[in-house]
Structure formats: C-alpha cells, structure tokens
Amino acid sequence: MRNNKSKIYLISLILLIVDQLVKLLIKSTFKLHEELELIPNFFSLHYLQNDGAAFSILQNKTYLLVIVAIICLGIMVYYIQKEKTFTKLSSISLGLILGGIIGNLLDRIIYKKVIDYLSFTFFTYNFPVFNIADVGITVGALLLIVSCLKEEQSSNN
C-alpha cells in the first residue's frame, strides 16, 4: 500500500473530462430522443435527459439528488484526505466513483437533468440508457468491493 491520493484525483479528473466532452458532443450532434444504432439489435447512441437517478428513480427530485451528491462528495474527499495509504485497486475505484459523481452532479447543476446516451439491448431487454459517469460509478463500486474483499482476505492470512 502507498499514498495514491494524486492518482485518485487524476483518475477522477480524466473520467470527468471524458464524460463532459462526450456529453457535449452528444448534445450538440443529436436531437433529444434521437437514436443512432451502431451495432444492430445490441448497441446504440440514444440522447435522453434523465431528471431522476439510476433507472429513472426519484424523478423530478433534482435538488435532492444534488444535495445527496454533494454530501457523498464531501464524505469521499474527507475519507481520501484522512487515509494515509491506498492500494492501487482502491485508488482506481475511488477515482472512478469520484469522477462519476462529479460528472452527473455537473449535469444536474447546469441542465437540471443528466445527459444519457449509451443504450444496450440484450435479446429483447432494453437496458436503461446511461452515460460514462454512470459507468465510472458502477465499475468503481464493483472494484471497491473487490478491493475490500482482497484487503480482508490478506489481513486474515
């Protein structure tokens, strides 16, 4: 383990920049609800605006979601600053989560909605449309679980 705080913030910054640039590109290229199928019956770009959270829960609760995101950011930054060392995996996971939260928070503050555009279909199931920030949060959370399990396992040995 070593101090990877700068890596956490760098990863979050890279994710944030990519997320916001892609959202800007989608917003400037597509009309709202426009869809471009890239891989037939599997993947498309579909420009939507979501005023809720994941899977469109908490619709029309933008202010609540902004407050929750700010609280989560505060807790994460406090934790990152307080901890002395991080594993490589936990650094990556925290950076992805932090960047994803900030990306969607910016959307809520600027547009009052989150810009979503990644659409997948699995057989007949259309997965809810999402964005790169959502990927960062989800992958980061999964990696954080793996990191915690690995740390627990190594402390038991």
**Could you tell me if residue 113 is inside a domain?**
yes
- 134 an active-site residue? yes
**Could you tell me if residue 16 is inside a domain?**
yes
**Could you tell me if residue 48 is inside a domain?**
no
**Could you tell me if residue 42 is inside a domain?**
no
Tally of domains in the chain: 1
* Helix, strand or coil, per DSSP, at residue 53: coil
Selection from 131, 105, 133, 106 nearest residue 117 by Cα = 131
CB 9 within 8 A of CB 95: yes
Q: Is 105 exposed, middle or buried (0-12, 13-18, 19+ CB in 10 A)?
A: buried
Who wins on pLDDT, 138 or 55? 138
- 51 an active-site residue? no
Residue 59 pLDDT > 80:
no
**Could you tell me if residue 145 is inside a domain?**
yes
**Could you tell me if residue 38 is inside a domain?**
no
pLDDT digits (tens, 9 = 90+) for 98-136: 999 999 999 999 999 999 999 999 988 999 999 999 999
**Could you tell me if residue 53 is inside a domain?**
no
Domain that holds residue 144: 5-30+58-156
